[in-house]
Amino acid sequence: MSKTGSFIKELYCPKCSRVYSKDEIQHLCECGSPLLVRYDLERAKKELNKNDLIKRSPSLWRYKELLPVEDDENIVSLGEGFTPIIQLNAAGKKLGLSNLYLKDEGIIPTGTFKARGAAVGVSKAKELGVKTITMPTNGNAGAAWSIYSAKAGIQAVIVMPEDAAKITRNECKAAGADLYLVKGLISDAGKIVGRSIQKNGWYDASTLKEPYRIEGKKTMGLEIAEQFNWNVPDVILYPTGGGVGIIGIYKALKELQKIGWIGEKLPKLVAVQAAGCSPIVKAFNEKKTESEFHKDSKTVAFGINVPKALGDFLVLDAIYKTGGTAVSVTDEEILSSVTELAKLDGVFACPEGASLYAAIRKLKNEGFVHADDKIVLLNTGAGIKYPDTITSKTPYVELNATL
Ligand SMILES: *Cc1c(COP(=O)(O)O)cnc(C)c1O
Ligand SMILES: [Zn+2]
């Protein structure tokens, strides 16, 4: 076996500071909080050099010292990560923003950034000897974990709302997962998964109930820093459901600060939610540190339909600590943003990602961002995964017609 050189040290609770071993399967802290991974960053500071990265493969595994997998042979990879950051010239011009960028996760395996969490989460589950994983999902996570589990030789048991995008069902089934549909929301699916874990002893891969998905999503933050040559942008907008991505990006930036690769300044982190499911926005507006369950939540951007996130306090902390904000946008605004982004800059974003375009327009009008701020929209997935959501009417022509 060859070692990855991971600097993983232990797991810790961000709420009560209890510490847990990295060598055994861990889920939540005794106090109910998600656990986070702690690395030996002092050692990393001494032994790691950012120039070492230059020779490495363009995948998220280029940051293996800051990832939890310890043996190379446990790495389950389909080539995920190091997605491009492109400038939105036309959209920027229209909004009066001269440095508007989009990081495009639409081209990653499985078509959404859930592949990052799945790659690292499944790899670590393999390292810990897990045979069966289970999770509730709004679709994209289930698809990604099914695909990576197949590659790892792990059985996946997936429970999703019947309203979740059909394409994600087919991905789960194609990859050999056991798939169950429920009438209800992801929170209802979660209750069923909770009971099945008690009964069957499966590995709970629910959002933030295992500590490693966050480490995969963290790599978006590492990449943004590296791709901007370690001069972090002024603002990062993120479509927030469970909030794993925003928690991960914040964690990545703090780790980079500790090893000295970036300076004091952090980007303002902005959580964007759909008006039909905006518990984080409500909590932010009320200056609270936790959110309340958003009743009867509903939005076309199903990846961010999470009425109450387990890590809500970590999301809000990341927003407050970076001087960020939280914004909601309507489904109408989201859908018109999908087509506007595609027309202006050739980016066919998923509804979740497109919500950021509607949000940045609001933030510009309110004066939260300025004309020359360096701004990154994190497009979390491909528009082509949403054939039922993003539709348009097109006239037919007869074969002998001229146009
Ligand atoms: C899951 C998902 C999100 C939300 O991700 P979190 O990190 O859990 O907030 C956003 N966009 C898409 C496409 C998703 O699938
Ligand atoms: Zn705790």
Partners of 159 in the beta sheet? 136, 180
Comparing C-alpha atoms, which of 145, 157, 85 is closest to residue 109?
145
83, 380 contact by CB (below 8 A): no
Question: Which residue among 112, 300, 304 is best mutated to probe the pocket of ligand 1, counting the most ligand atoms within 8 A of its Cβ?
Answer: 304
Query: Is residue 243 in contact with ligand 1, taking CB distance under 6 Å?
Result: yes
Q: How far is the CA of 42 from the centre of ligand 1 (A)?
A: 32
Among the bound ligands, the one closest to the CA of 142 = 1
Q: Which one of the ligands is nearest to 378 CA?
A: 1
Exposure string (b/e) for 295-332, b if CB count within 10 Å is 16 or more? eebebbbbbbbbbbbbbbbbbbebbeebebbbbbbebe
Instruction: Give the whole-angstrom CA distance, residue 185 versus residue 276.
Output: 13
Give the residue, out of 302, 380, 385, 389, with the most ligand 1 atoms within 8 A of its beta carbon, to mutate for a pocket test: 380
Q: How far away, in angstroms, is 145 Cα from ligand 1 center?
A: 14
Closest atom of ligand 1 to CA, residue 248: 7
140 CB less than 6 Å from ligand 1?
Answer: yes
Which atom of ligand 1 is found nearest the CA of 240? 9
Which pLDDT score is estimated for 255? 98
**380 Cβ closer than 6 Å to some ligand 1 atom:** yes
At residue 157, what is the residue type?
Answer: V
Per-residue HEC secondary structure of the chain comes to CCECCCCEEEEECCCCCCEECCCCCCCCCCCCCCCEEEECHHHHHHHCCHHHHHHCCCCHHHHHHHCCCCEHHHCCCCCCCCCCEEECHHHHHHHCCCCEEEEEHHHCHHHECHHHHHHHHHHHHHHCCCCEEEEECCCHHHHHHHHHHHHHCCEEEEEEECCCCHHHHHHHHHCCCEEEEECCCHHHHHHHHHHHHHHHCCEECCCCCCCCHHHHHHHHHHHHHHHCCCCCCCEEEEECCCCHHHHHHHHHHHHHHHCCCCCCCCCEEEEEEECCECHHHHHHHCCCCCCCCCCCCCCCCHHHCCCCCCCHHHHHHHHHHHCCEEEEECHHHHHHHHHHHHHHHCCCECHHHHHHHHHHHHHHHCCCCCCCCCEEEEECEEHHHCCCCCCCCCCCCCCCCCC
Q: How far is the CA of 259 from the centre of ligand 1 (A)?
A: 28
CB 380 within 8 A of CB 354: no
pLDDT at 387: 87
Alpha-carbon distance of 379 to 152, in angstroms, equals 27
Residue 131's pLDDT is 97
**325 in Cβ contact with 284 (< 8 Å):** yes
Position 401 scores a pLDDT of 87
pLDDT at residue 243, as a whole number: 97
CA of 28 to the centre of ligand 2 (A): 8
What CA dihedral angle connects 381, 72, 221 and 242, to 10 degrees? 60
Phi then psi for residue 153, to 5 deg, are 75, 30
What is the mean pLDDT, run by run of 10 residues, along the chain of 403 residues?
92 98 97 98 95 94 98 98 98 98 97 98 98 96 98 98 92 98 92 95 96 98 98 98 97 98 98 98 98 95 94 98 98 97 97 98 98 98 90 86 86
CB environment 141-173: b (16+ within 10 A), e (fewer): bbbbbbbbbbbbebbbbbbbbebbbebbbebbe
Residue 337 has a pLDDT of 97
Query: In ligand 1, which atom is closest to the CA atom of 243?
Result: 9
Cβ–ligand 1 distance for 117 under 6 Å, the answer no
What is residue 394's predicted lDDT score, i.e. its pLDDT? 84
Distance CA 245, CA 207 (A): 11
